[in-house]
Amino acid sequence: MALKMVKGSIDRMFDKNLQDLVRGIRNHKEDEAKYISQCIDEIKQELKQDNIAVKANAVCKLTYVSVSRWPAPSTRIGYLAASQSFHEGTDVIMLTTNQIRKDLSSPSQYDTGVALTGLSCFVTPDLARDLANDIMTLMSHTKPYIRKKAVLIMYKVFLKYPESLRPAFPRLKEKLEDPDPGVQSAAVNVICELARRNPKNYLSLAPLFFKLMTSSTNNWVLIKIIKLFGALTPLEPRLGKKLIEPLTNLIHSGISVLAPIPAPGTLLAPCGPQGMSALSVAVLISLSSGMPNHSASIQLCVQKLRILIEDSDQNLKYLGLLAMSKILKTHPKSVQSHKDLILQCLDDKDESIRLRALDLLYGMVSKKNLMEIVKKLMTHVDKAEGTTYRDELLTKIIDICSQSNYQYITNFEWYISILVELTRLEGTRHGHLIAAQMLDVAIRVKAIRKFAVSQMSALLDSAHLLASSTQRNGICEVLYAAAWICGEFSEHLQEPHHTLEAMLRPKVATLPGHIQAVYVQNVVKLYANILQQKEQAGEAEGAQAATQLMVDRLPQFVQSADLEVQERASCILQLVKHIQKLQAKDVPVAEEVSALFAGELNPVAPKAQKKVPVPEGLDLDAWINEPLSDSESEDERPRAVFHEEEQRRPKHRPSEADEEELARRREARKQEQANNPFYIKSSPSPQKRYQDTPGVEHIPVVQIDLSVPLKVPGLPMSDQYVKLEEERRHRQKLEKDKRRKKRKEKEKKGKRRHSSLPTESDEDIAPAQQVDIVTEEMPENALPSDEDDKDPNDPYRALDIDLDKPLADSEKLPVQKHRNAETSKSPEKDVPVVEKKSKKPKKKEKKHKEKERDKEKREKEKKKSPKHKKKKHKKEKEERTKGKKKSKKQPLGGEAAAGPVQNGAPEEEPLPVRGTSAPPPRTCDIRGSLQEDSQVTVAIVLENRSNSILKGMELSVLDSLNARMARPQGSSVHDGVPVPFQLPPGVSNEAQYVFTIQSIVMAQKLKGTLSFIAKNDQGATHEKLDFRLHFSCSSYLTTTPCYSDAFAKLLESGDLSMSSVKVDGIRMSFQNLLAKICFHHHFSVVERVDSCASMYSRSIQGHHICLLVKKGENSVSVDGKCSDSTLLSNLLEEMKATLAKC
């Protein structure tokens, strides 16, 4: 076996790959056809091998050959294979350009269609450029079928080759008014997709679309158009006004007129409430994002959506929530009043729905309800099953709180305590997220530092976090933040010594390396702080004790496997030992140690580096060192380790080549920044920001409100804050009311202020802490930041093209001249093609004739057999001949099977045959059993039912070309073969004969005669009995079980030919039907689903036969696939005969 595999892979080395094939074809210009047929033979061989790689290579080559070289027959399959397996990276696509072009201009619309469909799957920039003009021509094809496809594929072409947009656009626009609705909707689709990306270029089309919208009856088109208007209205306010009426009508009619309720019985019946059809719901939903700014219609829309959300159908609920979130983006106020409903959805069993609801909540928070919403979410965190959803909740809580630069947080102590509560989540993957928030808040909100430090020291102290250190990105990440905060802001610590001890516990060594590293670094900061305190207080002993603690505990870090930890620890250990010496001499050291960490670290904006303007005269693209000469290619580079460093430098070529590398580095830098407390992250999801971030100058810096306790003993409960906050607000409100009353007394009532509404608005809630959100530092004269948001890689950017400008000559689509010349010459070249075509009908005719002949034959045969039967009738022998053939398969080893497997089919109905003088009825049971590939043993059971003794029996069979009886050596073909026994009356015996069969694809009939002497009281007579041996195709099959996997694989291999029959008027149950097929035709059922079953069998020569049997009401259809089409069609004929009797 192993040897075989080795041999296989060695053989494979000599196989042609695709490139070789293409090269070969080019090198055999003269005898191309011959070369290709040679290759095909090779491919056939390769396909038969077990090695999957060899097979794949073969299929690849075959696909190429069938798409690019051979005319019509295989186009459909070929393109299917190509579209499934080719992609942009497949280098042969380039080579097939000409063939695709030929197919595109094929006279048969279906060939063209197939080519277009295939192309849509594997179009590349090159193909797009070369074929754009051809496809554009097809957009004006006479057949709508082609126009439709051509229009749709243009979108793909635009994406790959943006230059084609301007020249092709006028024609595309024309198609919007195409008489064929299919073409029209295709054009709408394409333009909508284009316009959604760069709407301003398509504003001029608005009137046309408006007309389409009001006239179209096709909901699909309608939805697309509404989507398009959604993109256009923000650019043109007048358009919005014009749309209000038709859109409002649509929403109303979405429930009545527009509702073509799905036909009964269709599986899609998410009939909405009050009979809304799926599509009108779809209209409603697309409306939600394309709604003009008109409060009445928005209200209407939101009301309808509420109906959807309240519906019991989960799909509608989901879609309602989704649509709500779209409206929320533009009209937060009108959605916010449905908060109750959204919160209810958080309890839904379906995660998809909960996630949608969460999304909505994100946009619904205000200063007023943030605490309440987060509290609700926290209870869900506790309840949540499954870590994914819990993690999602966690990120959402953080997103909600941190959005727009913490705009809605009025009390940061509350937020810190929420974060601390979140650390109790075990098994979360978002430890780093919480850590990042802690760092961010502690650094940027100065007022909170004291509180944060107290909480963080408690975290450092608690043991549960340490326990979870095994998981990556687990909750222990929080310790990173805690350690850093406690170190950096150690002046706020209440009991620094205690924290120091906590940070030096032996268990810390189990934490991940990067966290330990932060521990080590911050231990020193803390230590420096303690020294200073003790020295100022004059407690030299206390200071020495701290030093001693450091000297005792640091060695565990020195032994760390993490290099960073080890390095930091050993440096610091030396430093501390030095300090110890100084302390022993009573030298004050605190000042100097603290100087190590003097100065405050300012957060730097992530984009700051990019914003630094390039000083004049500095060319960043210029070489610093001239690159080494090209002759030294990379392969020749010496392997020496130290050389490499030097030689790598010239590889740093300026940008263009290294886009990927840059992206990678950018990513790496982001990662680095995420872990670097000195970087302020841009707020989590800038695009989700619904309001402009207020600048720092808007945030007033005021004193801390001392009504909130700064230290909560133990771990704080965020709930406390909710209560406190309520009280505080209440107080504020009271004060305000007082003031207002006073003011009211002064002012006239006419001037109603916003705040006099019963609900207090956001602006009224003053933050509990005044927050000095430190801005991210930016370099002086930084460049304006507008350009940042545009991604240079956006493929749609290339399609941002002014379409109204007249076409310049240079923009015409490339019509490749030399190819044109080629086509003008082509009549000569095409001659062979024409010939082929003219040949084909002949072939067809031949085939047809053959078929007819076949039919005739078959019919003759059919006619024959009844005649035959009749003849026998006429002979009026009183014998019963029951021809039954049974074949038993023997294992290849040659051992006889334990028992004969009966899988024979009755060849003929029992015939009542009456004998003339002697009436010896007997039965011929014929069993065929397989011995070798092509040898069949036929066992004949002879039963004497007469009163005479039968003896001297001889069997003679007329051989055919295909089947020969194996005779004893020396005997001629015409001699009979003696039956080795005599038969007394009423006795039966079996004789076996071997037949050699050449081909099993056809049924065989052999005529034979049994001659015998019947002896009774009256004397002996010589008699003859004619019989026929019928080797039906079914009898060559052996019942072989097959698993559905293997079955599917077999079908996928694609080397089976296909045929089918249908039989009407069948009333038998499907179960019996299958049993019958199994019994008579030796099949086994692979899988059965309802009234449909797949079956399998194998011939003695190894043909696979797969069947799909389906039962209709009164009919049965059998589809078959087999590695031999003749065998299959014969089998199906036989089966048809069997079924017809059912």
Footprint of other proteins on residues 286-305 (CB under 8 A)?
286
Question: Is the CB of 220 or the CB of 1079 nearer to other proteins?
Answer: 220
Site for other proteins in 150-189 (CB under 8 A): 152-153, 155-156, 159, 181-182, 185-186, 189
Question: Is the CB of 290 or the CB of 603 nearer to other proteins?
Answer: 290
Residues 6+ apart with CB under 8 A from 189: 152, 155, 224
Provide the minimum distance between the beta carbon of 60 and other proteins in the complex, in angstroms, as a whole number.
12
- In the structure encoding, which two tokens stand for residue 816, read together? 């490749």
- In the structure encoding, which two tokens stand for residue 685, read together? 């999801």
* Contact criterion met (CB below 8 Å) for 985 and 947: yes
d(CA 881, CA 1028): 10
Q: Which x/- pattern, by CB under 8 A, does the window 758-797 give for other proteins?
A: -----------------------------------xxxx-
Provide the minimum distance between the beta carbon of 344 and other proteins in the complex, in angstroms, as a whole number.
16
Asked if 116 is part of the footprint of other proteins (rule: CB under 8 A), the reply reads yes
* Contact criterion met (CB below 8 Å) for 330 and 293: yes
User: Which segments of 600-655 does DSSP mark as H helices, in order?
Assistant: 608-611, 641-648
Asked if 514 is part of the footprint of other proteins (rule: CB under 8 A), the reply reads no
Provide the minimum distance between the beta carbon of 230 and other proteins in the complex, in angstroms, as a whole number.
10
Site for other proteins in 345-384 (CB under 8 A): 349-353, 355
Provide the minimum distance between the beta carbon of 121 and other proteins in the complex, in angstroms, as a whole number.
7
* Contact criterion met (CB below 8 Å) for 722 and 729: no
d(CA 550, CA 572): 9
Choices 142-150, 373-381, 439-447, 724-732 (CB under 8 A): range interacting with other proteins: 142-150
Name residue, tokens 């839904």: 348
Question: Is the CB of 59 or the CB of 778 nearer to other proteins?
Answer: 59
Question: Is the CB of 798 or the CB of 1137 nearer to other proteins?
Answer: 798
Q: Binding-site residue total for other proteins (CB under 8 A)?
A: 109
d(CA 325, CA 321): 6
Provide the minimum distance between the beta carbon of 313 and other proteins in the complex, in angstroms, as a whole number.
8
- In the structure encoding, which two tokens stand for residue 394, read together? 């966690």
d(CA 116, CA 628): 49
- From 899, 1131, 911, select the one nearest 1028 (Cα to Cα): 911
What is the number of alpha carbons within 13 Å of residue 161 lying toward its C-beta?
22
Asked if 853 is part of the footprint of other proteins (rule: CB under 8 A), the reply reads no
Provide the minimum distance between the beta carbon of 145 and other proteins in the complex, in angstroms, as a whole number.
6
Near other proteins by CB under 8 A: residue from 99, 403, 1123, 1129: 1123
Question: Is the CB of 7 or the CB of 44 nearer to other proteins?
Answer: 44
Instruction: Identify the H or E element spanning 183.
Output: helix 181-197
- In the structure encoding, which two tokens stand for residue 242, read together? 């014009």
Question: Is the CB of 219 or the CB of 297 nearer to other proteins?
Answer: 219
Question: Is the CB of 119 or the CB of 486 nearer to other proteins?
Answer: 119
Question: Is the CB of 833 or the CB of 1092 nearer to other proteins?
Answer: 1092
Provide the minimum distance between the beta carbon of 262 and other proteins in the complex, in angstroms, as a whole number.
9
- From 220, 195, 230, 225, select the one nearest 208 (Cα to Cα): 225
Near other proteins by CB under 8 A: residue from 110, 210, 1070, 1079: 110
- Residue 424 is classified by DSSP as T
Near other proteins by CB under 8 A: residue from 1093, 1100, 1105, 1135: 1093
d(CA 571, CA 575): 6
Beta partners for 420? none
* Contact criterion met (CB below 8 Å) for 604 and 679: yes
Provide the minimum distance between the beta carbon of 180 and other proteins in the complex, in angstroms, as a whole number.
10
Provide the minimum distance between the beta carbon of 210 and other proteins in the complex, in angstroms, as a whole number.
21
Q: SS3 for 175? A: helix
Question: Is the CB of 660 or the CB of 828 nearer to other proteins?
Answer: 660
* Contact criterion met (CB below 8 Å) for 950 and 983: yes
Question: Is the CB of 314 or the CB of 673 nearer to other proteins?
Answer: 314
Site for other proteins in 619-648 (CB under 8 A): none
Near other proteins by CB under 8 A: residue from 114, 228, 965, 1014: 114
Near other proteins by CB under 8 A: residue from 121, 244, 782, 901: 121
Provide the minimum distance between the beta carbon of 278 and other proteins in the complex, in angstroms, as a whole number.
6
Q: SS3 for 933? A: coil
Choices 14-22, 145-153, 590-598, 932-940 (CB under 8 A): range interacting with other proteins: 145-153
| Size of the chain, expressed as the number of residues it contains | 1142
d(CA 76, CA 1109): 26
Near other proteins by CB under 8 A: residue from 105, 198, 315, 544: 315
* Contact criterion met (CB below 8 Å) for 479 and 467: no
Site for other proteins in 1058-1087 (CB under 8 A): 1087
d(CA 223, CA 246): 13
Question: Is the CB of 67 or the CB of 422 nearer to other proteins?
Answer: 67
Question: Is the CB of 983 or the CB of 1109 nearer to other proteins?
Answer: 1109
Provide the minimum distance between the beta carbon of 1081 and other proteins in the complex, in angstroms, as a whole number.
18
Q: Is 931 exposed, middle or buried (CB count within 10 Å of its CB: 0-12, 13-18, 19+)?
A: middle
* Contact criterion met (CB below 8 Å) for 991 and 955: yes
* Contact criterion met (CB below 8 Å) for 755 and 712: no
Provide the minimum distance between the beta carbon of 193 and other proteins in the complex, in angstroms, as a whole number.
5
Alpha carbon distance, N-terminus to C-terminus of the chain: 48
- Residue 603 is classified by DSSP as P
Question: Is the CB of 345 or the CB of 531 nearer to other proteins?
Answer: 345
- In the structure encoding, which two tokens stand for residue 975, read together? 């001699």
d(CA 1117, CA 1131): 14
Site for other proteins in 1023-1062 (CB under 8 A): 1044-1045, 1047-1048, 1051-1052, 1054-1057
d(CA 557, CA 903): 79
Provide the minimum distance between the beta carbon of 423 and other proteins in the complex, in angstroms, as a whole number.
27
Provide the minimum distance between the beta carbon of 37 and other proteins in the complex, in angstroms, as a whole number.
9
Site for other proteins in 862-921 (CB under 8 A): none
Site for other proteins in 185-224 (CB under 8 A): 185-186, 189-190, 193, 196, 218, 220, 223
Q: Which x/- pattern, by CB under 8 A, does the window 244-263 give for other proteins?
A: --------------------
- From 325, 313, 319, select the one nearest 280 (Cα to Cα): 319
Asked if 517 is part of the footprint of other proteins (rule: CB under 8 A), the reply reads no
Site for other proteins in 26-85 (CB under 8 A): 40, 43-44, 47-48, 62, 65-66, 70, 72-74, 76-78, 80, 83-84
Asked if 279 is part of the footprint of other proteins (rule: CB under 8 A), the reply reads yes
- Residue 204 is classified by DSSP as G
Cα–Cα distances (Å) from 659 to 147, 606, 611, 974, in that order, read 39, 20, 20, 86
Q: What is the dihedral of CA 145, 148, 150, 155, to 10 degrees?
A: -160
Site for other proteins in 660-719 (CB under 8 A): 663
Asked if 267 is part of the footprint of other proteins (rule: CB under 8 A), the reply reads yes
- Residue 768 is classified by DSSP as S
Provide the minimum distance between the beta carbon of 384 and other proteins in the complex, in angstroms, as a whole number.
16
Site for other proteins in 953-972 (CB under 8 A): none
Provide the minimum distance between the beta carbon of 161 and other proteins in the complex, in angstroms, as a whole number.
15
Asked if 307 is part of the footprint of other proteins (rule: CB under 8 A), the reply reads no
